[in-house]
């Protein structure tokens, strides 16, 4: 930043905490989050609004943070992937892994259903799905596909991502976990040492 670079003082609540920063007027929100606030869970992909990796909730609405200037969110609320577990705890829906990590049910859903491979796209999918399940707690697979149509994944082929969101939706509704249509059962495979079923606290059988 040079002395004559136009700047704005931005006061923004991110994951429940207030941050005040003087930032360049042209600073994109994705860069503000990653470089000025240190929240690197929001990923920078295309930076032209195409991939969805940078998706955050802006006043509860999913937005691509490469399409917003930081100065435009002054006095607003942002939720990033780092705030998901805390949000779940506040809502009484948090889940814990056997190792004691607190997850939002969507994060657990992605873990249980192999909803990620490299994980680059995952924060964006999680934020988009968070907004979807708040608006529509029982989405059809077609509705899930429509909601995530602005997020690109180069690894998974999407089926496991839809499974993951469906699984989380069922957990949030306190239904049985969704296992149909390509989803995985939580029963460990016979003869295999995977511990998928053990990942969820209380699932000790
Ligand atoms: S980095 Fe924002 S949409 Fe790709
Ligand atoms: S898991 Fe690699 S891009 Fe989606």
CB under 6 Å to ligand 1: residues?
44-47, 49-54, 64, 66
Ligand 1 centroid to residue 127 C-alpha, Å: 13
Euclidean distance between CA atoms 52 and 132, whole angstroms: 15
Ligand 2, closest atom to CA 116? Answer: 1
How does pLDDT run across 82-106, given as a tens digit for each residue? Answer: 999 999 999 999 999 888 999 999 9
Mutate which of 54, 151, 152 for ligand 1? The one with the most ligand atoms within 8 Å of its CB, which is 54
Ligand 1, closest atom to CA 66? Answer: 2
Ligand 1 centroid to residue 115 C-alpha, Å: 19
Give the DSSP letter of residue 61. E
Mutate which of 107, 154, 157, 158 for ligand 2? The one with the most ligand atoms within 8 Å of its CB, which is 154
At a CB cut-off of 8 Å and minimum separation 6, what does 13 contact? 19, 76, 77, 78
Mean pLDDT of the chain: 88
pLDDT at 42: 98
Question: Which residues is 55 bridged to in the sheet?
Answer: 64
pTM: 0.86
Is residue 154 classed exposed, middle or buried when 0-12, 13-18 and 19+ CB atoms within 10 A define those classes? exposed
Euclidean distance between CA atoms 171 and 39, whole angstroms: 28
> Whose C-alpha lies nearest to ligand 1, atom 3?
49
pLDDT at 1: 61
How does pLDDT run across 10-64, given as a tens digit for each residue? Answer: 999 999 999 999 999 999 999 999 999 999 999 999 999 999 999 999 999 999 9
Q: Which ligand is nearest to the CA of 119?
A: 2
């Amino acid at each position: 930043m040079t002395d004559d670079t136009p700047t704005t003082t931005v006061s923004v609540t991110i994951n429940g905490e207030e941050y005040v920063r003087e930032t360049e007027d042209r600073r994109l929100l994705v860069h503000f989050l990653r470089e000025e606030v240190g929240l690197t869970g929001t990923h920078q992909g295309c930076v032209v609004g195409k991939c969805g990796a940078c998706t955050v909730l802006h006043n509860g609405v999913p937005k691509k943070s490469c399409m917003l200037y930081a100065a435009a969110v002054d006095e607003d609320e942002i939720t990033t992937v780092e705030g998901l577990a805390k949000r779940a705890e506040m809502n009484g829906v948090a889940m814990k892994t056997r190792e004691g990590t607190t997850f939002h049910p969507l994060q657990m859903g992605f873990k249980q259903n192999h909803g990620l491979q490299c994980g680059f796209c995952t924060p964006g999918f999680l934020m988009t799905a968070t907004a979807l399940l708040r608006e529509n707690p029982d989405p059809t697979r077609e509705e899930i596909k429509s909601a995530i149509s602005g997020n690109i994944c180069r690894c998974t082929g999407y089926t496991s991502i839809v499974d993951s969101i469906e699984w989380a939706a069922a957990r949030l509704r306190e239904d049985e976990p969704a296992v149909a249509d390509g989803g995985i059962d939580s029963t460990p495979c016979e003869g295999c040492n995977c511990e998928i079923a053990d990942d969820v606290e209380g699932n000790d059988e």
